[in-house]
Amino acid sequence: MRSVLVTGGAGFIGSNFVRHLVSTTDVSVTVLDKMTYAASRESIADLPADRCRLVVGDIVDSELVDELVGSHDAVVHFAAESHNDNSLDDPSPFVQTNLVGTFTLLEAVRKHDVRFHHISTDEVYGDLELDDPTRFTEATAYEPSSPYSSTKAGSDLLVRAWVRSFGVRATISNCSNNYGPYQHVEKFIPRQITQLIDGLRPRLYGDGLNVRDWIHVEDHSSAVLTILTTGQIGQTYLIGADGEKNNLDVVTTLLGIFGRDADDFDHVTDRPGHDRRYAIDSSKLRTELGWTPQFGDFETGLADTVQWYRDHESWWRPAKAATESKYAAQGQ
Give the shortest CB-202-to-ligand DAU separation in angstroms: 7
327 is catalytic: no
**Interaction of residue 152 with ligand NAD, rule CB under 6 A:** yes
Can residue 101 be called a binding residue for ligand NAD (CB under 6 A)?
yes
**Rounded CA gap, 294 and 267, in Å?**
33
177/252 with CB nearer ligand NAD: 177
Of the candidates 148, 179, 182, 278, the residue annotated as catalytic is: 148
176 within 8 A of 237, measured Cβ to Cβ: no
Residues listed for the chain: 332
Residue 67 annotated among the catalytic residues of the structure: no
Sign of CA pseudo-dihedral 285, 300, 83, 33: negative
Write b or e for each residue in 203-232: b if 16 or more Cβ atoms lie within 10 A of its Cβ, otherwise e: bbbeebebbbbbbbbbbbbbbbbbbbeebe
- Does position 13 bind ligand NAD by CB under 6 A? yes
Choose from ligand NAD, ligand DAU, none: what does 39 bind? Cβ within 5-8 Å by kind: ligand NAD
Residue 175's beta-bridge partner residues?
121, 239
Pick from 23, 12, 80: nearest CA to 52: 23
- Separation between Cα atoms, residue 155 and residue 164, nearest integer Å: 15
Catalytic residue, chosen from 122, 127, 156, 324, is: 122
How many residues interact with ligand NAD (rule CB under 6 A)? Answer: 31
Which of the choices ligand NAD, ligand DAU, none does residue 247 contact, using the CB cut-off of 5 to 8 A by kind?
Answer: ligand DAU
Marked catalytic residue, from 33, 58, 81, 123: 123
Contact track, ligand NAD, 22-41, x by CB under 6 A: ----------xxxxx-xx--
For residue 230, the minimal CB distance to ligand NAD (Å) is: 20
Do the Cβ atoms of 93 and 81 come closer than 8 Å?
yes
Active site residue 311: no
Instruction: Give the other-Cβ count within 10 Å of 139's Cβ.
Output: 8
Which residue's CB is nearer to ligand DAU, number 166 or number 205? 205
Q: Which of 5, 44, 80, 168 binds ligand NAD (CB under 6 A)?
A: 80
CA distances for 29 relative to 84, 173, 247, 271, angstroms? 29, 20, 36, 37
Of residues 79-98, those binding ligand DAU (CB under 6 A) = 82-84
Q: Which residues pair with 59 in a beta bridge?
A: none
Comparing CA positions, the residue from 144, 276, 277, 260 lying closest to residue 202 is 260
Q: Which positions touch ligand NAD (CB under 6 A)? A: 7-8, 10-14, 32-36, 38-39, 58-60, 78-82, 97, 101, 119, 121, 152, 175, 177-178, 184
What is the set of active-site residues?
122-123, 148
Q: Which positions touch ligand DAU (CB under 6 A)? A: 82-84, 121-123, 176-177, 187-188, 191, 203-205, 210, 212, 247, 271, 278
